[in-house]
Homo-oligomer: A and B are copies of this chain.
Amino acid sequence: MTTPHTSPHTSVNLAHQLSRFHDHWAQRKIADLNDYEVKLAKLKGEFVWHCHPDTDELFLVISGRLTIRLRDGDVALEPGELFVVPRGAEHCPVADEETAVLLLEPAGVLNTGDAGGELTRSVESLD
């Protein structure tokens, strides 16, 4: 958002985009990278156990603290830390406080993976 208006190209400021929504668990797309989507989400509480059978999933914590539970051990993430959930690995994100994350995975991946349920959200774009 700091790009001079004389350029047709615009950068994406993560803090600005995070200020534009307040709900938890829904994912907002902020950029495309080939057939991948770069997304933001705010997480709070405990999600559902699920997996993505066909793809890895990257979590980068921007603020807050995130625990990603896996069947064989947890991963604790602080701001500036990332983790790639391997494809097919059941996982359950848990955030005791509101936590902002950058997510990266192929377009079309649902947030609840194979589990579905009431926390399922389609991806909205932040333009």
Contacts and interface: CB of A to CB of B under 8 A. Distances in A.
Interface stretch (A10-18, A43-51, A112-120): A10-18
B3 A75 contact: yes
A6 interface: yes
**Top 4 A-B pairs, shortest CB-CB distance:** A7-B73, A11-B81, A9-B75, A14-B80
Given A2-B81, A81-B2, A76 B11 contact: yes
Interface string A68-93: 10101111111011111001000000
A118 to B, nearest CB: 28
Interface residues of A, number: 43
A80 B9 contact: no
B10 A75 contact: yes
A98 interface: no
A96 to B, nearest CB: 15
B12 A81 contact: yes
Contacts of A19: none
Contacts of A122: none
